[in-house]
Structure 1
Amino acid sequence: MIEVQGLTKRYGAVQAVDDLTFSVKPGVVTGFLGPNGAGKSTTMRMILGLDKPSSGTALIDGSAYRDLPNPARKVGALLDAKGVHPNRSARSTLLWQAQAAGIPSSRVDEVLALVGLTDVAGKRVGGFSLGMGQRLGIAAALLGDPEYLILDEPVNGLDPAGIRWVRGLLQSLAAEGRTVLVSSHLLAEMAQTAENLIIIGRGRLVADTSVAEFIRSNSAVTVVARAVDTQALEAALAGLAYRRVVDADGREALEIPDRSTDEIGALAHATGVQLAELSERRASLEEAYMNSTQGHAQYVSEGVSNA
C-alpha cells in the first residue's frame, strides 16, 4: 500500500501540496486526477523520493522510497518519458537500467516485446514518436516486475489502440494484486480504466472514493421515459418538472430530473400509461469532475464556457 500522510511541499511562497493524506490500495487501478497545477506531479515525485516534503510522509509498503532495499524491483515509475538519452537505442536504454538494478538482460527483451517495441529495439530513441517514447517509458517502469506502479500520464501521445492496450495492461497488473497509481487528463479513459479515484485541487484533497460513488455524489440523476402516448405520460407527470427531447431515432421522450425509475414507473403504472422506455442517466466522469473541482483550478481561462 502507498500511504501519504499530511504531505506538504512549499517552494518559497508557493504551496504546491497542502496537508495531503490518502492511501493507494493494491488490487485496483487508482486514478490520480486534478487540474493543471494541482500538485499531482509534485506528489508523485515526493512518493518516489525525488522531492523532499516540507512536512509529512509518503510511504511505500511502510517505508520511504530511499529506504527500500532494491527499489527498482519494488517500484516501477514513469514520470517523464522524454528523460532518456536520444542517441541510445531502445534496448541499450533499458539494458543499462537493468544492469544497474541487477536485473537479468533477458528481462529487457521481455518488456520490449510486452510494449510492442521489439522491431525498433535497435533504433535511437531520439527518432521515436511521442507514442513510442511512452511505450519505452512503460517498459522501463515494468523492468523490475514491480509490485508498485506509479505512472504520470502514461497514455499521452498514444493512438486509440495504444490507449486500449495500456488500459488492459494496468487492469491486468492490478488484478494480480499490484498497487497501481496513474494520473491522466483523459477523463473518459480514466472512467474505463480506474476503479478508485484520488482527486486533488490546489494541493488539497478533493475526493478519495470509487469512480461509481464519485459520479453518484457529484451528479444528478435524470430519468428518461418514452411512452406509447406521450400526452398521457405528460398528464401522469402533472406537477413534476420535465422536458421533451427527441432521441437519435427521432422518437419523442421526456426527461425528468432528480427522480428515480422506481418513482416514474410506479406513477405510469398507477395511471395506466404504457411505457416503451424507462431508464436513468447519470453524468459522465468528466461532468462530475468539473462539478467537484470548481474553485480548485489554478489556471482558469476567462470568457470560456466549460459546458
Structure 2
Amino acid sequence: MIEVEGLTKQYKSVRAVDDLTFQVKPGMVTGFLGPNGAGKSTTMRMILGLDAPTAGRARINGKHYHELKDPLREVGALLDAKSVHRNRSAANHLKWIAQSNGISTSRVDEVLGLVGLSDVAGKKVGGFSLGMGQRLGLAGALLGDPGILILDEPVNGLDPEGIRWVRQLVRALAEEGRTILISSHLLSEMSQTADHLVVIGKGRLVADQPTYEFVKDHSQSSVLVRSDHLDAFGSALRAEGIFFTESTDEEGRPRLEIANQTTDFVGQLAYSTGVPLNELSLKRASLEDAFMELTGDSVQYHGSTGAQTTGTAAAATGAGSGTGAATPLARPTQQEV
C-alpha cells in the first residue's frame, strides 16, 4: 500500500503540491489524474524519495522509500523512460539494474519477453523509438517482480495495440493483488483501466473515489440532435425551459446537445413541434467530461472551441435518466518501431 499524508512541495514562490493526502490500495488500479502542471510527477517523485517534501510524508508498505531493504523488489517505477545510457543494449541496461540490486540476471530475459523486446535485446537503446523505450522502462519497473508499481504516463509513444497491451498488463497485475498507481493523459483509456481515481488540480486533491462514482458525480449524459431546422427546435426547447448547448459534430455540422433528457422525450418533442431530425442519439457520461468539469479551473492554458450555451438550467418534465504466463505478451508494432 502507498500512503500519502499532508504531502507538500514548495519551490520558492510556487507550491507544486499542497497538503495531499490519499491512499493507493492493493488489488486495484488507481489512476492519478490532473492537468499539466498539477503536481502529479512531483508527487510520484516524492513517494519514491527522489524529491524531499517541504512537509508531510509518503510511505510504501509503512516505510519511507529509503527505509526499504530491497526497494526494487517492493516497488517498481517508470518515471522517465529516456533516462537510459544510449550506448547500452536493452539486455545490458536491465542486467546492470539487476546486478546492482541483487536480482538474478535470469529475470532479464523474462521481462524482455514480457514487454515484447526479446528480438531487440542486443540493440543499443539509443536506436529505440519512443514506444520501444517505454516498453524497456516497463521492463525495468517489473524487473524485481514488485508488489507495487508507480507508472507515470506508461502509454506515451505506444500505438493503439501497445496501449491495449499496457491496459491488459496492469489489469492482470492488479488482479494478482498488486498495488498500481498510474498516470495518463488518455482519459478514454484510463476509464477502461482504473478502478479508482485520485484527481489533483494546482497541487491540491479534488477527488478520491471509484471511477464509476467520479463519472456519475461530475458528468451527465446528453442527447445529440441534428436538423435542418435547429433554430425552430431551439425555440421549442427554450419554451419548455430545457437546457442545451450548440456545437458541431466531427464533420463540422451544427447540432444541439440537450442535457438531462432522454432520447424518447426529445424525439417526442421534435415530433409534436413538426421538426424533422437528421440525428437523434445519446452521448453517455464520460470520464473526459467529468475530468474537464472538475478540473477546468486548474488548467493553465485554455483554447476556444466556439461552443455556445443557451436555454435555461431548468429541466422540463420527462427528464431521464506476477507477470506469469497468464499476463498478455506483445511485440512492438511497426508503428512503434
Question: If the TM-score is normalised by the length of the shorter chain, which range does it land in?
Answer: 0.7 to 0.9
Q: Which residue of 2 aligns with 1:251?
A: none
Alignment of 1:1-307 (within 5 A): 1-222=1-222, 239=240, 241=242, 257-259=259-261, 281-297=283-299, 299-301=300-302, 303-305=303-305
Q: Is the 8 A contact 2:219 2:287 kept in 1?
A: no
User: What's the CA shift string for 1:103-151, capped at 9, x where partnerless?
Assistant: 1111000000000000100010000000000000000000000000000
**Whole-Å Cα distance in 1 between the matches of residues 55 and 94 of structure 2?**
34
**Any conservation in 2 of the 1:147–1:179 contact (CA below 8 Å)?**
yes
Cα distance between partner residues in 2 of 1:32 and 1:98: 28
Corresponding letter in the other structure for 1:257: A
Structure 1 residue 195: Cα displacement: 1.3
- Rounded Cα–Cα distance in structure 2 between residues aligned with 1:186 and 1:148: 22
Preserved CA contact (<8 Å) 1:216 1:282 = no
Partners of 1:165 and 1:34 in 2: CA distance: 23
TM-score of the aligned structures, taking structure 1 as reference length = 0.83
Distance 1:224 1:131, change over 3 A: closer
Deviation of 1:209 (Å): 1.0
Q: Distance in 2 between matches of 1:133 and 1:222?
A: 40
RMSD after superposition: 3.2
Displacement over 2 Å in runs of 4+: 220-225, 238-243, 254-257, 278-283, 303-307
Distance 1:10 1:240, change over 3 A: closer
Equivalent residue for 2:322? none
Residue by residue over 1:35-58, the C-alpha shift from the partner in whole angstroms, topping out at 9 and shown as x without a partner, is: 111000000000000000000010
Q: Cα distance 1:306–1:123, how it changes in 2: closer, same or farther (>3 A)?
A: farther
Q: Distance in 1 between matches of 2:206 and 2:40?
A: 12
- Relative to structure 1, the CA distance from residue 256 to residue 16 in structure 2 (aligned partners, 3 Å threshold; closer, same or farther) is closer
Mapped to 2, the partners of 1:306 and 1:63 lie a distance apart of 50
Cα separation, 1, equivalents of 2:72 and 2:243: 57
| Contact in 2 for aligned 1:241/1:256 (Cα 8 Å) | yes
How many Å apart are 1:161 and its aligned residue?
0.8
Aligned residue pairs, count: 286
State the SS of the aligned residue for 1:92. Answer: helix
Q: Partners in 1 of 2:220 and 2:45 — Cα distance?
A: 36
Partner Cα distance (2:72, 2:306) in 1: 41
| Residue segments in structure 1 that go unaligned for 5+ positions in a row | 226-234, 248-253, 269-277
Q: Which ranges of structure 2 fall in alignment gaps of 5 or more residues?
A: 226-235, 250-255, 270-279, 308-337
Amino acid of the structure 1 residue aligned with 2:7: L
Give distance in 2, aligned partners of 1:190 and 1:19.
25
Cα distance, 1:181 vs structure 2: 0.3
Give secondary structure in 2 for the equivalent of 1:151. Answer: strand
Other-structure match for 1:229 = none
CA distance in structure 2 between the partners assigned to 1:11 and 1:188 by the alignment: 33
> Partners in 1 of 2:257 and 2:133 — Cα distance?
46
Distance in 2 (alpha carbons) for counterparts of 1:22 and 1:242: 36
- How far apart are residue 283 of structure 1 and its match? 2.5
Identity of aligned residues (%): 65
SS at match of 1:293: helix
**What secondary structure, in the 3-state scheme, does the structure 1 residue paired with 2:137 have?**
helix
Deviation, 1:174, is 0.4
- Give the Å deviation of 1:210: 1.4
Name the aligned partner's letter for residue 72 of structure 1.
L
Matched residue type, 1:153: E
